[in-house]
Structure 1
Amino acid sequence: MKKWKKEILLNVPIEFAWAYFYGDISKKKKIFPKVVGEEIIKQTEGIIGTIISQSYQTGSLTEQYEITIKKYTNESNYKAIQESFLLNNRFKMTTEYELESQSDKMTKFIYTSINKPKNPLLSIFQLFGSDEVIVNFLNKAKIAIEMDFEQSQNNEVL
């Protein structure tokens, strides 16, 4: 099992950032460009346990994953969603996106990823894994969300 946990500050209000992680597929695609669609398979009343079929485009190949929501919190100063899915029938993936309000215009984004191989031999390869992909994701998400926020503020001024 390999676990990564990284954080970055976003220069946007928490409510603005939240839409990129839950609820708005057009915003989600801006930080997850390979996601092409989502469809709720099973909706639960409290969100936890909801199952979503997510389509993911890699080159000419479209893959589908069943994502189960394991944790969901939507409070004014703290929001989180944890999702679990099976990647390529080889790794059980758990990803968590946490947002903590730091001020009216600043949000801490904490990303946690846990990769657990189905086959113990694959654990050996994880020893050599770096956090470069995670750091790149955080930076790209920050740029996309902050650019959208800046554009929304400019549109309000017009």
Structure 2
Amino acid sequence: MKKWKKEIMIQAPIEFAWNFFYGDLEKKKMIFPKVMDEEIIKQTENRTGSIIKQTYQNGNSTEQYDLTIKKYINEVNSKVLAESFILNNRFKMTTEYELVSLTDNSTKFIYTSINKPKNPLLGIFQLFGSDEVILNFMERTKEAIESEYEKEVK
């Protein structure tokens, strides 16, 4: 099992940033460019337990994953979305996106990812994995949200 946890400051209000993670597919595509579509398969009243079928472009192939919402918090100063899914029938992935309002125009973004291989032998290869992909994702997320916020404020 491999776990990453990173955080970054985003110069945008929490409500503005939240739409990039939940609720607005076009904004979500800005930080997850390989996501093509999402369809709610099952929705619960409090969102936890809901299932979303996500269509994802991976090179020349299109893949679909059933994302299960494990945690959903949508409060004024704190927002959390945790999802789990099976990646390529090899890894159980759990991702958590947490936003914490620091000021009216700044938000702390905390990203946690747990990658658990279904085959223990695959876990050995994870020992050599770097966090470069995670850092690139964090930076892309910050840039996309801040850029869109600047457009909106002008």
TM-score normalized by structure 2?
Answer: 0.99
SS in structure 2 opposite 1:121? helix
Deviation at 1:59, TM superposition (A): 1.9
Q: Residue 4 of structure 1 aligns to which amino acid in structure 2?
A: W
Structure-1 separation of matches of 2:26 and 2:109: 19
Structure 1, unmatched stretches of 5+, are none
Q: Indicate the residue corresponding to 2:45 in structure 1.
A: 45
Which runs of 4 or more aligned residues in structure 1 lie more than 3 Å from their structure 2 counterparts after TM superposition?
A: none
Q: Does 1:111 align with 2:84?
A: no
Q: Residue 30 of structure 1 aligns to which amino acid in structure 2?
A: M
Q: Residue 20 of structure 1 aligns to which amino acid in structure 2?
A: F
Q: How do 1:1-158 residues align onto structure 2 when only pairs under 5 Å count?
A: 1-154=1-154
Please give the per-residue CA displacement for 1:9-38, whole angstroms capped at 9, x wherever unaligned.
Answer: 000000000000001000000000000000
Structure-1 separation of matches of 2:71 and 2:18: 15
Deviation at 1:46, TM superposition (A): 1.0
Structure 2, unmatched stretches of 5+, are none
Please give the per-residue CA displacement for 1:110-156, whole angstroms capped at 9, x wherever unaligned.
Answer: 000000000000000000011110000000000010000000111xx
Q: Residue 56 of structure 1 aligns to which amino acid in structure 2?
A: Y
Please give the per-residue CA displacement for 1:22-64, whole angstroms capped at 9, x wherever unaligned.
Answer: 0100000000000000000011111000000000001221000
Structure-2 separation of matches of 1:63 and 1:152: 33
Q: Percent identity?
A: 69
SS in structure 1 opposite 2:48? coil
Structure-2 separation of matches of 1:76 and 1:106: 13
TM-score normalized by structure 1?
Answer: 0.97
* Aligned-CA RMSD value: 0.4
